[in-house]
Amino acid sequence: MNILTTPDPRLRIKCRKVNKITPEISDIISQMRDASLEWEESHPYELSAAMAAPQLGFDRRIIIIRDDLDDKKNTSFTALIDPEVIKTDGKIKKDYEGCLSVPAIYGLVPRPTKVKIKALLEDGTPVRIKAEDSLARTLLHEIDHLNGILFIDHIKDDEKAFFRMNDKGDLEPVDYLTEIENNPALWGKDE
């Protein structure tokens, strides 16, 4: 299963609302779960925390979030359909983020520490979720995907905020300006 990577233009669209949960939607959700776990098998140091439908090329507002963000052995995910941010709160904090669609690059991304969202569960039940810290960050990252936004967009060019994971699983600083020069399209800077 192919996870799209930047600069694929399908990662940059505003996705359509689902509204009605059909068998086609359930099928997209199971493909997302399979793709997340398949990705994890080939990335021993990383956990596949979440995924958004556009990362598999589906133009739909669907995200899946790992039920336990700290335990790789727990492979269950919750799907959230048509998720919307109701409110953000708390402090703005920088922390590391990576993305299946931005291979091997990590960044220190500023985000609010608290978020309130509403969404539908896979069976159509409406839910409201209050989240903090890493779950809030993950939800905001995934909802961004549904609007064509990637985590790299939140980092200002002049900050020393980018890292690359080496083959031992350690993060090493990346010289952002050199990286852009070498591959402007990857960073969305080719306009």
Task: List, by residue number, the catalytic residues.
Answer: 142
Q: Are 1 and 28 in contact (CB under 8 A)?
A: no
99: contact with Zn ion by CB under 5 A: yes
CB of 55: closest distance to Zn ion in angstroms? 7
Short-list 110, 109, 113, 112, CA closest to 133: 113
25: contact with Zn ion by CB under 5 A: no
CB of 150: closest distance to Zn ion in angstroms? 7
Q: Are 62 and 25 in contact (CB under 8 A)?
A: yes
CB neighbour list of residue 56: distance below 8 Å, 6 or more residues apart? 1, 2, 3, 4, 28, 31, 32, 35
3: contact with Zn ion by CB under 5 A: no
> Interface with Zn ion by CB under 5 A: which range of 95-103, 115-123, 125-133, 153-161?
95-103
CB of 23: closest distance to Zn ion in angstroms? 26
Instruction: For Zn ion, give the closer residue by CB, 22 or 96.
Output: 96
> Interface with Zn ion by CB under 5 A: which range of 29-37, 82-90, 93-101, 181-189?
93-101
Dist CA 146 CA 144 (whole Å): 5
Dist CA 118 CA 127 (whole Å): 6
Residues of this chain that bind Zn ion (CB under 5 A): 99
